[in-house]
Amino acid sequence: MSYITFTEEDINTRVVDCQRKMGEQGFDALLVSAESNLTYYCNFHTHAPWTTFTRSSFLFIPRTGKPLLYVHVFQVPDAQQITKGCDVRGYESLTGPTALQLKELMEELGIANGSIGMEKGNEQVIGFQLNLYEELKSELPNVHFTDASSLIWSQRLIKSSKEIACIRKACEATSYAHDKVFANIKEGMTEREISRLVQAYMLEGGADSPGFVILTSGVENYDRISKTATDRILVDGDYIFLDVGARYNGYWSDFCRTGVIGAASEERQAYQQKIHEVTLRASEVMRPGVPVAEVARACAREMERVGIDANFECGRFGHGMGLMSTEPPSITIYDDAVLEEGMIINLEPGLVNEFGIFNLEENFVITKDGSDILSGGNRELHSTI
């Protein structure tokens, strides 16, 4: 199958919808600089967005007309080739443009007055220095820089068929990696060896890159549900919690599977089956029009029904996913979002006790009539026997 790509039409559709919403919400322009938003609105991405704070990028989206991407000259040739639906210009300084340069560019674009939306709110982040932002505000006293996170998420929460296809590919790679690594885990291996293996299997399974690996083993570590791999050697009786994510064309997967070194006890198998049942039964309430809070309540009800405590202390029963491994909404009783067709929802009710971390996160897409599971792999408790 050919690689899934986004066309000029795909990107232009997003920008036109953004500009329509800007008019409705009173924005004169958006200034976005976080990598996920640059990817979403003009298809720009860099080789290592989380490992460097040099060469900040700026995308100006006026209420009418073509967006402008402003990047370091080092990135201009690549940006000109990969971006869609925008003009590209470059600045020279490695540490970024000055506030005066940004002001002059905004004056040229006719957006040096009025309301400019930025990534100031819910699960958004401005991708350049705070000092530069403060200086820019001083240079533009007639501009009101305001939060545009609601506008951005109103678009990004609903995935197109191509976006869903990319997430499905990432999930397929992760499913493959989970099954392959648990088939090869042996007593005497280190956590770090397993981490390297699962990352290699994600690539083998079709991912563009491995995204993250959470790996917990050993009774002394079961409360560490976000632990990364160490040189700890696996011994007989260890329970292994493996939560991983892969990326395909910028889009993520994120789900966990579990196993045991040696034989899986009846207690562990029972907890595994219960949490799987809880997750699937809670997912049955998911369909367009259902409040996210009701999904959270369904998770709590199901855990109470099977007699286990919700003590997987990640702060919620799940979350959205897309160009980031976690996105809004949060599956909690205080999130006021309502499910819509095209949303991605990851459900992860869980339990931590002396036997292990019992959590079988599943990645769902909300469909017209309900939801479909995108995550895969063996849900039974893997065993080396």
Q: What is the pLDDT of residues 92-117, one digit of tens each?
A: 998 899 999 999 999 999 999 999 99
pLDDT, mean of residues 171-195: 98
* Closest to 151 in 3D by CA, of 309, 278, 5, 30: 30
Tokens, residue 281: 């039964």
Q: What is the pLDDT of residues 321-339, one digit of tens each?
A: 999 999 999 999 999 999 9
List the chain domain ranges.
Answer: 8-156, 161-383
Amino acid 118: pLDDT? 98
CB atoms inside a 10 Å sphere around CB 89: 14
**106 vs 118: CA distance, rounded Å:** 14
How much is the pLDDT for 1?
65
Q: How far apart are CA 242 and CA 217, in angstroms?
A: 9
Residues 208-237 have a mean pLDDT of 97
Q: What is the share, in percent, of the chain residues with pLDDT greater than 70?
A: 100
For residues 225-230, give the mean pLDDT: 96
Q: What is the pLDDT of residue 52?
A: 84
According to the model, what pLDDT value does residue 101 have? 98
Domain 8-156 has CATH 3.40.350.10: yes
pLDDT computed for residue 124 by the predictor: 97
Q: Against a cut of 0.95, is the pTM above it?
A: yes
Contact by Cβ (8 Å): 23, 151: no
CB 59 within 8 A of CB 37: yes
Please state whether 152 falls in left (phi above 0), alpha (psi between -120 and 50) or beta: alpha
Q: Give the pLDDT band of residue 189 (cuts 50, 70, 90).
A: very high
Fold of 161-383: Creatine Amidinohydrolase (3.90.230)
Which residues, in sequence order, are CB contacts of 170 under 8 Å at separation 6+? Answer: 207, 245, 246, 247, 248, 251, 252, 253
